[in-house]
Amino acid sequence: MTKKDSLPPAPPIDAVLEAALYTTDLDAAEAFYGGVLELEEVVRVDGRHIFYRVGATILLIFNPEATKVPTDNPRLPVPAHGATGKGHLCFAATREQMAAWADRLTAAGHPIEADFEWPNGARSIYFRDPAGNSLEMAEPRLWS
C-alpha cells in the first residue's frame, strides 16, 4: 500500500485560478503586460506586485524581494513566498492570433525565439518578457 492509497479521495481541481511570474522591474512589466499584451490590470501595489486578468485566470507579477517579507496585515495572512530566476507561462491562442501576436511582439522589440509545430500538429511560439521569463502562445489542442 502506498501513501497515496491511504489518503482520502481527492476532489477535482477544475482550473488554475492564478499563476505567478517574478520581476524586480514592475514598470517594465507594466509596459509589457499592460502595454504590449494589453492585459487588463486588476491591481498594482508599487514595489510589490501587479495583477492582470487573463480570461478566467489572474496573472500575478511579483517583485520577489517584496514577497519574501511576511505581511503584517491580520486580515490577509498570506505567507511569505516568492521565487528567483526565470519562469514560464503559456497563453492559449489560435494560429491566426499567433501570427498577429508574432508581428506585434516583434514590432515592440520582443522577438519570437521559436515558432514550431509539436508532434500532434499544435503550433507554439516562444518569446520573453522584459525580466527574461519564457512566454509561450500555443494552440489549446497541444494538450488535447
Cell 510589490 locates to 48
Q: What is the pLDDT of residue 1?
A: 57
Backbone angles phi, psi at 25, to 5 degrees: -115, 85
Q: Using one digit for the tens of pLDDT, what is the confidence trace for 14-70? A: 999 999 999 999 999 999 999 999 999 999 999 999 999 999 999 999 999 998 888
Residue type (1 letter), 60:
L
Query: What is the 8-class DSSP label of residue 114?
Result: E
Rounded Cα–Cα distance for residues 28 and 108 (Å): 13
Confidence of residue 115 (pLDDT cuts 50, 70, 90): very high
Q: Where in the chain is CATH 3.10.180.10?
A: 15-67, 86-144
The model's confidence at residue 87, banded by pLDDT at 50, 70 and 90, is very high
CB atoms within 10 A of CB 30: 18
Contact 40, 28 (CB under 8 A): no
Task: Decide which of 3.90.110.10, 3.10.180.10, 3.30.930.10, 2.40.50.140 is the CATH code for 15-67.
Answer: 3.10.180.10
Q: Cβ(66)–Cβ(49) under 8 Å?
A: yes
> Does the domain spanning 86-144 belong to CATH 3.20.190.10?
no
**Cα gap 140→135, rounded to integer Å:** 15
